[in-house]
Structure 1
């Protein structure tokens, strides 16, 4: 197990003087321990950040809903195209991308609403025992989600480096690709980026439909660390299921 962990950490490059795994795993764990030892102080310090994160989770749910409506519109467009004897190239791929985006954008929002499946049989055995069991389970989930988020982002980077393109019939306008690349390009390079941008439609780069996966897993990891800190501060679970009558 130790050997496998070491092999997995070899490509975790330093960031601001520390290995990346320290920033992703050790520092959040220390923050959670600080919430355990000094709950009142950490509650005051984290309250503005938690309010911002709550809005972020809500907007991720809104994006998931928009993507779900997009699936419906694509299905309707396919039906209209079929009735009109027209072709709608790439419609199946677009619907698949929207379905994946719906799933990943909804992860963090669904967690905050208690919509994820949680086996709570042991949590109901007693408040004290259930509290610590819930904290340990959430800590393990946060580490796992952080690990997946890191490699989801790495997958995005590798797809862009390899210039991997979709094998389907879907196309994307070049201006949209350039607009998204601006977020990871230095402002001094924006002129060159747009000078090389044409008005054609090109095969969709794979990193584009992979973006919701990276964003969704990142938000899920943030939500798990966030609610772990809330649990250790308040000593009660902040994730409650919404009852439907």
Structure 2
């Protein structure tokens, strides 16, 4: 099961990379289109969708690799017992919030699909299509918090901190 979840995180990171490339391509095409006096409707919206997709799809992988910013100013100055309590609380609160986000992201995409909601921008795209990336990212983020909580329960460390990263204080 662990390998399946890790492969899911890798897939989401690859999709995030593709979304960043799509955002770059949309922006560059927009620049070229303005220089050539072409009117390509909706490029700004597509760039926005791609940037949002890249952000949401990267959340699970970055959490698992310890790439989220962790401010340890408080954790480094409390007793091990209080640190333990704060870490458990952080993981639990993170799990609750991300499950809430995933639920409502899924609900938003479903309602957008059911009501045939379209973008108010010039592209007039069905909104549920770009919202799928948000749903996948939120679901993966909740899964990564659940996995971190499970690892902590089994005696592991709090979310991994990269070896080359310094704590922000």
**Shorter-chain TM-score range:** 0.7 to 0.9
Whose strand fraction is larger, Structure 1's or Structure 2's? 1
Q: What aligned pairs does 1:167-178 form with structure 2 within 5 A after superposition?
A: 167-170=120-123
Among candidates 1, 4, 9, match of residue 57 of structure 1: 9
CA apart distance, 1:128:
4.3
Structure 1 unpaired stretches of 5+ = 1-48, 171-202
Q: Which residue of 2 aligns with 1:230?
A: 151
| Ranges in structure 2 where 5+ consecutive residues have no aligned partner | none
Q: Confirm or deny: 8 A CA contact 2:63 2:159 kept in the other structure.
A: no
Quote the offset at 1:95 in angstroms.
Answer: 0.4
| Other structure's SS at 1:149 match | helix
**Which runs of structure 1 show a deviation greater than 4 angstroms over 4 or more consecutive aligned residues?**
none
Alpha-carbon spacing, 1:242–1:148, altered in 2? closer, same or farther (3 Å):
same
Partner of 1:213: 134
Q: Contact 2:66–2:159 (CA<8 Å) still a contact in 1?
A: no
Q: 2:101 aligns with which of 148, 162, 169?
A: 148
User: For the residues of structure 2 that align with 1:142 and 1:159, how far apart are their CA atoms?
Assistant: 25
Counterparts in 2 of 1:224 and 1:244: CA distance versus 1, 3 Å:
closer
Q: TM-score, normalised by structure 1?
A: 0.62
Q: CA RMSD in A?
A: 1.9
SS for the counterpart of 1:139 is helix
Number of matched pairs:
165
Q: Give the superposition deviation at 1:101.
A: 0.4
Question: Structure 2 matches for 1:113-128, cutoff 5 A?
Answer: 113-124=65-76, 125-128=78-81
The residue number in structure 2 matching 1:68 is 20
